[in-house]
Structure 1
Amino acid sequence: MQPPRLKSRRLVFTSTIGAVYMNPNRSPDVIVDESCWSDLDYCKDTKNWYCYGKTVAEQVAWEETKKRGVDLVVVNPSLVLGPLLQPTINASIIHILKYLTGSAKTYANSVQAYVHVKDVALAHILVYETPAASGRYVCAESVLHRGEVVEILAKFFPEYPTPTKCSDEKNPRVKPYKFSNKKLKDLGLEFTPAEQCLYDAVKSLQEKGHLPIPPRD
């Protein structure tokens, strides 16, 4: 028995870049794009259940929509920052908050891709409303080392105790991986710089009372 065909014209599925880039066998020279998939065995071995679950979820979405004849388009955002829509703290914003409260005395020797929440929202609209849109869309503005993140935070908000030392001073500084967001740019999306993402996130934390504003000298 064939599964029933759904009546929706197009389904836009929110996945994550975590379903794209987690692959230890990928050469550093390879550009991460929509053709890349995270390695499930690697996700299990490293106990990265978030990336594992998101990868499986997206794979199932592709399989099920194909069976039902649904036009599926997938957006794969990186870590989303900017103004908070909800009153509570989420996992993404904790990533920044810990560097401002003094709870993190050092920063990790690791990298992260960032994107503004408004760009993620616009990406969903563009892929839904553009008839020619198809497949997956990596939604990220840039990849920053944690050291770059704390430097940006310290530049905009010097009143907070941002860490100045890396927790791993023995190994070389991890280099950002290369990625392509060309598909979304071709649809007309102009990405907000990561510095603005960080700035807007902190201002939102202050406005919602999650981050006290210390007096400046």
Structure 2
Amino acid sequence: MNPQYNSDSVIDEPCWSDLEYCKNTKNWYCYGKTVAEQGAWEAARKRGLDLVVVNPVLVLGPLLQPTLNASTIHILKYLTGSAKTYANASQAYVHVKDVAEAHVKVYETPEANGRYICAESTLHRGELCRILAKQFSEYPIPMRCKDEKSPLNRGFRFSNLKLKDIGMEFAPISECLYETVKSLQEKQILPVPS
């Protein structure tokens, strides 16, 4: 969350959210995450610790917990019919298994250092809905944008090169979405249409 970045910017490890911007836009989630990470870096410096941070984007995939989280609700609304249209917005996604693997990679790589952006790709909500509709045509997935007059919001492009440089391979978002929906079905959060 930083007004100096736009959809042409590549978001990588030197990029940080702007705390004043987060306050002014009341984005307390990003504010809290940024303050927490800055605090961790300061504590590591004071104690002489070797800190490595993995920063994932919106995480999807099989649920470990029995309840919904905000990331999964983001997908569920397109499957239940509660969203009749999709927003003209884009979001970066990553598979939960890739987030776990990224933590292992940075732990097991002696030369790992600093921050690592953990993102597979950025999708426009329309593209997300098209993938879901192709995989799960039995659900009432919206095919219209709420704002059809404006140009498509491309969202940020996140660089995952630093993780790839230490051997990370990312699961495609289509696989991630499929496993998210299957998990919702298995946990009976999302009914399987007959």
Question: Do they superpose with TM above 0.5?
Answer: yes
Counterpart in 2 of 1:18? none
How many percent of aligned residue pairs carry the same amino acid? Answer: 71
Equivalent pairs, count: 194
Counterpart in 2 of 1:19? none
2:14 counterpart (12, 18, 35):
35
| Contact kept? 2:6, 2:156, Cα under 8 Å | no
- Matched residues in 2 for 1:200 and 1:170: separation? 33
Counterpart in 2 of 1:4? none
- Matched residues in 2 for 1:53 and 1:137: separation? 18
Counterpart in 1 of 2:183? 204
Counterpart in 2 of 1:133? 112
Instruction: Name the Cα RMSD after superposition.
Output: 1.0
Displacement after TM superposition at 1:137 (Å): 0.2
- Matched residues in 2 for 1:155 and 1:78: separation? 24
Scaled by the length of structure 2, the TM-score of the pair is 0.97
Scaled by the length of structure 1, the TM-score of the pair is 0.87
Counterpart in 1 of 2:27? 48
- Matched residues in 2 for 1:28 and 1:209: separation? 37
Structure 1 unaligned residues grouped into runs of 5+: 1-21
Displacement after TM superposition at 1:172 (Å): 1.1
SS at match of 1:104: coil
**What stretches of structure 1 move > 6 A for 4+ residues in a row?**
none
Displacement after TM superposition at 1:125 (Å): 0.6
| Contact kept? 2:129, 2:142, Cα under 8 Å | yes
SS at match of 2:82: coil
Asked if residue 80 in structure 1 is aligned to residue 56 in structure 2, the reply is: no
Structure 2 unaligned residues grouped into runs of 5+: none
What do residues 128-177 of structure 1 show as CA deviations (whole Å, max 9, x unaligned)? 11110000000000000111111110000000000111111232110132
- Matched residues in 2 for 1:28 and 1:171: separation? 15
